[in-house]
Amino acid sequence: MALITYREALRTALDEEILRDENVVVIGEEVAQYNGAYKVTEGLWAAHGDRRLVDTPISEAGFVGMGIGASMLGLRPVIELMFWSFAYVAFDQIINNAGCVRYMSGGLINVPIVIRGPANGGTNVGATHSHTPENFLANVPGLKVVAPATAYDAKGLLKTSIRDNDPVMFMENTLLYGEKWEVPDTEYLIPLGQADIKRAGTDVSLIAHGRAVLTCLKAAELLAAEHDINAEVVDLRSIRPLDEETVLSSVRKTHRAVVVEEGKPFCGIGAQLVSTIQEKAFDDLDAPIGRVTSIDAPAIYSPPLEKRQLPDPQHVIEKVLRLS
């Protein structure tokens, strides 16, 4: 096992998949000579050249659309976005083409593309650079949505996503890129649609994805130390497909649930989880389901105010205590 950063795990996955499959190409702004806006692709252009790492103009509508067309013709493009906020100008291609073409072709045309990049607030870059659109994308039949919380998951899920024959929206977090975790030196894959119990517990289920998982883990530590509450942390890892059974099994064990996300509350991922738990595990609940989200407003530019806008461990603890 090696102790590496989240960005290094992503880079390793890309490197291994480029070597494994000649159809894998990385496309995006500054991904080649400049090594990527967040240095995820550092060294890959020097190792693999212009045909495998392709720099593009600042035109998401252009290069996302090009990647989708290339995937329909047999390539496996990995599109890097500087921010997922910028994908909105390419939603026509993502939703109407990538999301629908396999269905509309009767299964004759696959779209094996991965679109990846940071989808988060918390970096004080303003409302137009801080969107978390995983709920929008998960609403579209035909798109898969993945949100790894750790370097281990980032590598295994990215490799699986690249090999998948459907379009995968891969949601990262800028604040995770420099964080380190242990990652195996050997190859491994993590199936899409398989959640992970990051911390076993008996008193309440904290259900999250992306960086919110780390928020829950910290909250669980404090709940145990200060309130003698043993929280279980469920990491969705994959939002669509969603591993309902792992979520429901956890709730049936703990009888309480709090869903946590950095997205907005209205029509969010948490709302879907609450609906699923209410419908399929209502009789197992001993308290109403709690939700913790960001404040329902555009991302705040001010650093101290944006910090308050996003969920933190104390928000999670307060919600859990209300259910006890």
pLDDT at 324 over 80: no
Active-site annotation holder among 8, 29, 48, 129: 129
Strand order in the sheet with 231-235: 196-199, 231-235, 204-208, 257-260, 290-292
Q: Which amino acid appears at position 183 of this protein? A: V
209 classed as catalytic: no
| Lowest-pLDDT range of 12-16, 50-54, 74-78, 320-324 | 320-324
- State pLDDT tens for residues 36-57: 999 999 999 999 999 999 999 9
- State pLDDT tens for residues 192-235: 999 999 999 999 999 999 999 999 999 999 999 999 999 999 99
Cα(130)–Cα(184) distance, integer angstroms: 32
131 classed as catalytic: no
| Mean pLDDT to the nearest integer, 20-39 | 96
- Residue 1 is predicted with a pLDDT of 85
Q: Band the pLDDT of 115: cuts 50, 70, 90.
A: very high
| Mean pLDDT to the nearest integer, 106-117 | 97
Active-site annotation holder among 60, 134, 172, 262: 60
- State pLDDT tens for residues 286-317: 999 999 999 999 999 999 999 999 999 999 99
CB-count burial class (<10 Å; 0-12, 13-18, 19+) for 303: exposed
For residue 216, give Cα distances in angstroms to 121, 236, 240, 272, 317: 17, 12, 21, 19, 9
Question: Where does 53-118 have alpha helices with state H?
Answer: 60-72, 91, 101-104
For residue 189, give Cα distances in angstroms to 13, 79, 155: 10, 20, 8
User: What domains, with CATH codes, occur in the chain?
Assistant: 2-183 (3.40.50.970), 196-323 (3.40.50.920)
Residue 239's nearest CA partner among 289, 168, 323 is 168
| Mean pLDDT to the nearest integer, 12-29 | 98
| Lowest-pLDDT range of 74-78, 151-155, 239-243, 300-304 | 300-304
Q: pTM of this prediction?
A: 0.96
